[in-house]
Amino acid sequence: MQHERCPCGDCREGEDLGEGDEHAKTLDLPGRVVKARAEIFDVLSLPAVGCDGEHSVLSHNEGGHPNRRFPVNYDLIVMKLAVEQARLGLEEGGVPIGAALIVNGEVLGVGRNRRVQQGSVIRHGETDCLENVGRLPASSYRRATLYTTLSPCPMCAGTILLYGIPRVVIGENRTFEASEALLRSHGVELEVLDLPECIDLMAQFIDRSPEIWNEDIGVEDPTGPTPATAALETR
C-alpha cells in the first residue's frame, strides 16, 4: 500500500499516514485532522461535473489543466483542514488563522499563525503553511490553491504573488481585509466562503487578546480602532 505523505507541519522528514493511521497518534488533535483528510479524498473520488455546472468550482486535473470541476463542497471540506489549524492555534494562545496548500487535489501541507508560539515576526498562517510544505518548483505553485481562514494580509498576498499561486479560498474577510483588490488585479482567483466558524474564532481571540491581534497586523496602539475591530462592530 502506498501511503500518503503527512501534511502536518511537525513531520519534517515526510512521515507517512499508514493503515490504521498509526502515525496520527503523534499529531496535534489528530482524529479531526485525519477525518478531514479522509473526507477530502472522498470528494476527490467523485465524478467531475459539467464545466458550466451551477454547483461546481474550478480545479486542476492530473495534468495541471484548469478544465475539471469538483462539487462546490470540495472547498468547504478542504477548508476544514485550515479551520482545524486555526483552532489549534487558539488553543496554543496564538492568533487563530490556519491555512492549507493543495496541488492537483493533493494536500501538500497545512499551517497556522505561530507568531506567538515561536516568537516569529513572519509566521502567519499562509507563510507557516508554505514553510511546512518546503521548497517547490514554480510549476507546482502555479497549479496550487491556497486555503486560508482569514483574508490575506499584504505580506501573505506578496508571497502569493511572488510564487504565482493562481487561486486562494478565504474562510472570511469580515474581520480583516487588506489585499484582495491587489490579488485580483494580478489575476488571482479569490473565493470567499464567509464561514461563521472562522468569524467566531477571530472574534473570540480579538476579544481576549486585542493587543496581540493589533501587533499581528502592524498596529501600534492596542486601544485604538483597527480594520478588524471596526469590521466586528458593524457586522
126 is catalytic: yes
The owner of cell 493543495 is 102
Catalytic residue, candidates 4, 13, 39, 126: 126
Distance CA 109, CA 100 (A): 6
- Give me 179's grid cell: 489585499
At position 68, the amino acid (one-letter code) is: R
Please tell me the total number of residues recorded for the chain in this structure: 235
Residues labelled as active-site residues: 126
